[in-house]
Every structure is written in structure tokens, then in C-alpha cells.
Structure 1
Amino acid sequence: MARGWVRDYYAAKLKELVERGEIWEIRRLMGPTGPRAVVEGREFIMLSTNNYLNLANDPRLKRAAIEAIEKYGWGPGAVWAIAGYPELMAELERKVAEFKRTEAALVFPTGYATNVGSIPAIVDQGDIIVSDELNHGSIIDGIRLSRAEKIIYKHCDLADLEDKLRQVHKKYNKILIITDGVFSMDGDIAPLDGITKLADEFNAMVYVDDAHGEGVLGEGRGSPAHYGVEDKVDFHMGTFSKALGSTGGMIGSDRDIIEYIRNRARSWLLSTGFPPAVVAANIKALEIVMTEKERIRKLWENREYFKKGLDELGFNTGKSQTPIIPAIIGDTKKTRELAKMLYDMGIFVVPIVYPMVARGTERIRNEVSAGHTKEDLDRALSAYEKAGRSLGII
């Protein structure tokens, strides 16, 4: 047990979070995640996962994992750098490089570990990072862990990015522009065509976190492929935990760069690797995404249908360009009330409020998948209409 004063201090801090409405209510899944899921004994239509291509419970991924367990066992033993890793890992890294269309690739235990390890390895004292103001928290933490300076540009604002690059041009050893490919709260896409053009002009490097773009844009290969600028991006970061339906992070680049990151990224060198079963499932997921384009087409059909439905009901879907479709309410209390009403009607969503988003932009973030049926989406839209009218939102 913790000391009394320690317990009391953190109990008071927790109470403050509850009173401000800044606490997560964690629900218990009672089966696999998918377009529909059993949550605490009830079946729900799931609109709150990143399982865009409905691969998280694909039988082929499960079969690959089981076969790997039979051959390689379960636990990895230690960090990959010390204990080595199964021969499957070399195959996975080759598959990632093929997917990212880079010379080589490195796989991390998580997407978070990829950013907090790779960014400090890439830049050093005397360098500067130019970062989009809405970049993911893992990017922010990676920047903080680096010894580089930083400057923030307005969200997806090429004019402001150019101004910031002009300010720092020739003042630092290296300039690194970092951006999400797809932004996880608004579902909008970074203008990588313009960003890479400015990088050429100011001799800057480009790092793209494409966690929410892979499997979704560019026929599945992500946001750089969507813009046709894969060869203009220096660092292709991604994750297996979204459209690929698994877990782990990845980064692709030139061979020497990848080997340098492998030997400098503390979150790779000091983290125990994931089990061989995950490696095998990740290989299978990449193969599916690179070959089964029908899944991506179905995802986009569902995205267009659901966004149109929310728009026609009168909800504010913001700047969404992807299967991330927010219903922006702009009020913490009403957002929480809406989420509860939808939950009570069998629609699994969660409220996204400050500090996850700025005050006045509180929303419910909907994420459709290729596995949703029209019946699923119609039922969700019907619930939105009923709850939205009851609360005076629409």
C-alpha cells in the first residue's frame, strides 16, 4: 500500500480530473473487436476503433500467429538487439520496405516507440524541427526528447510553413519538417505535395507519421503515395495498429539511415520486442493490404455514405477527408450527453474533449470500417438523429 499522504494526494488529483470531465471511462470488450463488438455483455456497432480494413480479427492473421507460436514459441526472450530476433523479423522488415517503397525498414514494439526513438536519433543539438501544431502526442514527445530546437507552424498552412522555414533557414545544421499524414482528430490530410516542395526549396528533411493514412490512402500505401511524393519523403513512419489490424510501429528510409536509427533509437535498443506471433501476423496484414484493393474501396464507400448522412442531419463534420469523421459539438457537457445517449442505443463511441482537443471543438470521433454494413451505418445515423434532436444539437 502507498503511504497515506501519497494516496490522498493522488485521490485529490483524480477527483480534479473527474470534476473537469477529463477522465476516460474504459469499457470492457468481451470478444474480438470488429464492426460490431460485445461490450460489457451487449452488442454494439463499433465506431471507435482504427480497424479501418476490418483486419483485427481476420482468420488469416490469426492462423499466421498460431503457426508462428508453434514454430518459434511465444516470448521474445529479451530486447532484439541482445537476444536476436526470429528469422521472420527480417522478412517483416523487407515487407515493410516493399510497402513503404524504401530501401530498408525498421520495426518497433509500438508506433509510439517509433516516434520517441526515431526523432531524437535523427536530429541533434544544432538542428531544428518544424512541426505542425496538431501533430500527434507521440511526435511531440519525440521532439521533447531530442536535443533539437523546435518551431511550430499553423495546421496544414503552407504559407506559415514557408514563413517559418524562411526564419530558420541557414541558422541550423539540419531542418526537419514533421507532420502527420492524416490527423487523427479531424481526419484531414497534410498537404504533402506542398510540404515536400518547400522542403526542396529550403533543403529540409521530411518526416511523415502515416499511422492513419496507411491502408486508407494511395491505394493502401498511404498519404505520400496519395500525393505521389514517396521519393520526396525522407522518413516514412507508420504503425501496424490501425488499418493493418495488429500492433507495432515501423519506419522506412534509405539503408544506411535505417541502420543508424537501429543503433541510436533508445526505444528500439531498450524495449523487449513483440512476440514472433505478432511478427507473422504483421507480415500477413501487409500482404493483404498490398493485394486486396476491394477492402479499401469498400472502406471509402462506407466513409462517403456515413459522412453524407451526418452532414444531411446537420452535424458539423469539420474538415474530414478520410474515414475519421468527427461530429463536432463544441461543448463538453453536450458532447458527453450525446455519447451516453448513443451508447445507450447500442452505438459505441466516446466523447473527445479538452485536453485531447481545444475547448470549443469537443466532438465525437467516428471511424468507419470496410466491415460495416449499410444496416450498421443506418442504425448509427438513426441513433445520431434521435439523440441530436433530443439534445437540440441538430
Structure 2
Amino acid sequence: MSLRWMDDELERRAAEASERKLRDRLRDPGGSGRLLQQETGSSGSTRLLDLSSNDYLGLAGHPAIAEAMREALLTGGTGAGASRLVTGNHPVFGQLEEAVAAWQGCDAALIFANGYMANAGVISAVAGRGDAVFSDRLNHASITDGIVLSRAEHVRYRHNDMEHLRALLEKHKHARRKLIVTDAVFSMDGDQAPLRELAELKREYGAMLMVDEAHSGGLYGQFGEGLCRAAGVQDMVDIHMGTFSKAFGVYGAYVCGSHTLIRWLVNKARPLIYSTALPPCLVAGVLKSLELVQTEHWRREQLSGSGRLFRSALREAGLAAGEGDSPIIPLILGGNAEALHVSTALEDEGIAAVAIRPPTVPEGTARIRFSLSAAHSREELTDAVKIIIRAARRAEGGGEC
């Protein structure tokens, strides 16, 4: 079968500045997680200030985490060897799940390989034909794909529009089961879901509520439990999901809830049942990271202050920077070409800031998605803001201002 149709589609994407490409970038071991090394051909490599990763607390590469993984690697080997339901359930999984459940104040927890598999596995396990899943239009793609896999009716409500959600809940009130699912902090805009209003609607209509804390876990709450705890709705949420690949600086994901929920997922979540378990050494690293998240409060405090500084400076300069208090700060530029131009200009001046384009974000809202880390110094961010403002104004005006 000819693959010419692929060439045609890729050529169209290239013409629209929407083709994606992989680029090699290495973390600079001397940069405390905030710098990247990028190959520049025969001339060697260059160092870039990383303003695109999700290493919010600056824990990626933390020496204590690396040492925990090294020790576990020597005793537990390089891989689990099988799924957790066969022979891959190393005792460290149970240790982490007990620690996560205690941290979240839930009955039980379950570890998944990553956030995508957790969302896909949980939603398809708790919903099916005859059910309705109500999803914010800006939810992560893994939530959307989980709903598709579930074969439940996919009911999308306008972003954070609770009146629209209420109308849809009323319309589908006779569905066999109803699940409301939302990101806590939305990954491309950095704004928050109205969790208390969602919890009240869930109760009113007899629905389940699932909250994805991928971009809020570790950052909110006294011990980094997430936005649900900070908003005081922890006990009103049926399914808590979060990741270890962002604020925790490692890899993997967790789901928390009742004993019944976790027991159900062990029996019904296909990504868990049919996937080889995570390497035990990686799980040991997450266990150490969880300890750091709960004890090193200065990381959250520093990140919060940096976010206020960075966001306010961009907005005061008249740029379309998103509102909120998360470390995700989008700079909306509109067109794909404009976003790529600014991204390239920033790279030329030593900043790694990736252009985000449709279909990841809605048409006409291509942007640079800045994400900050506790590893960034105030001086680095102040200097970066000046460069960003200059690059954005050039893109707007077609030249120097």
C-alpha cells in the first residue's frame, strides 16, 4: 500500500508550520536542572535556560533521588520482568502506594506507568456503554482518549463553564452512570478548574468526580497534596489522579480513592493489567521524591514567588500572558508561524521555550508555553523576561521596537 497520503499530509502540515519534529536536548549536569545542552553540529553544543520542562520543584536529577535509585538498581535489577499481576509486583510498589494514600488522605492508591495510561485506564474502567462522561473542553488528550476507549457518551462542556455543565448534566440525567472529569490545573493555560462548584454539581446529580492533578500535585497544599486539598474538596472527589513526572522529577502516576475503587482498577484497568510494571529502581526514586515534596517547603514558596514575578512582568509589558498562580505561563501569539518565530528567536538568545500549536491548543491560539522551576534564580528569570518581551514585540511589529 502506498504511503503517498502520508507525504501529502506532512507536506500540508509543514506549509502550515504545524509539523512536529524531535530534537535532541540533554540536561546540563552542572545546571541544577534548569539548563539544557543542545547539539549545534560541528561547532559542539550550546547551553539554554530551560523554560519549557515540567520540573516544577527542581527535583529532576536530585542527588538523593538518584542515590535511592542506584541502591535499588543494585538490589532489584533493571526491570520488573512482568506485569504486576504476574511476577512484577516488587514490594517497593506497596511501600509507595501506602505512602501516597497517607499523603493524599485516601483509603488506598495504585501506581501506573504514566499519566496517560492512568487516565486511559481509569476512565475506561469506570465508564462504559450507557454511561456519560462530562469533560472540560480543555482537558488533557489522555482524558479524551480514555473516554473514547470507554465507549461511554463523551459530553464536553465549555471551559470552566459551570452553567453549561449543569445544563448537560440535566440533559443526560438518565444516563446509567455519570462521571465528571477535569484537570485541576490546565496544562496549556495554567488556569484552575472551579473544583468546589464541580464537587457541588457532582453531589447534586449523583455523579462521580475525577480530578487530574498532574500539574498541581506537589505544588498546592501544605505538603504538596494538590489543588483539591488546597481548595478543601479532597473528600468530595471520588478519583484522585496525579503524576510523578512533573513536580516529582521522576516518572509514573498514581490514582487514589476508596478501597473499592482500587480493587476495581486492579481487576479492570487494562493498561495496568497488560503492561510490564515500572522498574523497581524507578519506584524507589519516586518514594524518595515524595519525601522531599512533603518536607522541602521552600521549593513551593520559591516557585510561587517566581511565578508572580514572571507573569506580572509580561503582563505589565502589554503581552497576552495567561492569568493564574501556577508555574505554567502561556504567551498567546495567535498564528503558528509567529509562535515558531518567537521560539527560534528565544533559542538564539539562550532560552529553550517551545512553541505550542494546534491541535494541542485551539486554532488561532498558538503560543509559547513557559513553565517555571524552583531551580530558576530570580536573576535568570528577570533577564529572561527582558529577552522575551523584546522577541514578542519584534514578532508583533516585524522588527525592532
CA distance in 2, matches of 1:283, 1:10: 44
2:172 matched to 1:173? no
Partner SS for 1:391: helix
CA distance in 1, matches of 2:26, 2:204: 53
Partner SS for 2:156: strand
Of the structure 1 ranges 218-227 and 230-239, higher mean CA displacement relative to structure 2 is found in: 218-227
* Mapping of residues 312-327 of structure 1, within 5 Å: 312-327=316-331
Please give the per-residue CA displacement for 1:223-250, whole angstroms capped at 9, x wherever unaligned. 1012110000000011111101111111
Please give the per-residue CA displacement for 1:73-104, whole angstroms capped at 9, x wherever unaligned. 11111111111321111001111112222100
Q: TM-score with structure 2 length normalisation?
A: 0.94
CA distance in 2, matches of 1:83, 1:19: 50
CA distance in 2, matches of 1:119, 1:154: 20
The alpha-carbon distance between structure 1 residues 302 and 281, as it changes in their structure 2 partners (threshold 3 A), is same
C-alpha contact 1:329 1:335 (8 A) present in aligned 2: yes
2:204 matched to 1:205? no
Partner SS for 2:241: strand
C-alpha contact 1:32 1:57 (8 A) present in aligned 2: no
2:7 matched to 1:11? yes
Gaps in structure 1 of 5+ consecutive residues: none
Indicate which of 10, 21, 28 corresponds to 2:17: 21
C-alpha contact 1:46 1:347 (8 A) present in aligned 2: yes
Cα offset for 1:71?
1.0
C-alpha contact 2:27 2:35 (8 A) present in aligned 1: no
CA distance in 1, matches of 2:170, 2:396: 47
CA distance in 2, matches of 1:83, 1:22: 43
2:74 matched to 1:70? yes
CA distance in 2, matches of 1:11, 1:173: 44
Cα offset for 1:32?
4.7
Q: TM-score with structure 1 length normalisation?
A: 0.95
CA distance in 2, matches of 1:150, 1:79: 30
Name the structure 1 match of 2:35.
Answer: 36
Name the structure 2 match of 1:222.
Answer: 226
The alpha-carbon distance between structure 1 residues 32 and 276, as it changes in their structure 2 partners (threshold 3 A), is farther
The letter for the 2-side match of 1:334 is E
CA distance in 1, matches of 2:129, 2:394: 55
Cα offset for 1:27?
2.3
CA distance in 2, matches of 1:158, 1:392: 35
Partner SS for 2:26: coil
Q: How many residues are treated as equivalent by the alignment?
A: 389
C-alpha contact 1:183 1:212 (8 A) present in aligned 2: yes
CA distance in 2, matches of 1:325, 1:157: 21
Partner SS for 1:121: helix
Identity in percent: 38
The CA RMSD measured in Å over matched residues stands at 1.5
The letter for the 2-side match of 1:39 is Q
Name the structure 2 match of 1:278.
Answer: 282
The letter for the 2-side match of 1:191 is P
C-alpha contact 2:304 2:325 (8 A) present in aligned 1: no
Please give the per-residue CA displacement for 1:45-81, whole angstroms capped at 9, x wherever unaligned. 1000010000011111100000000111111111111
C-alpha contact 1:121 1:146 (8 A) present in aligned 2: yes
Gaps in structure 2 of 5+ consecutive residues: 40-44
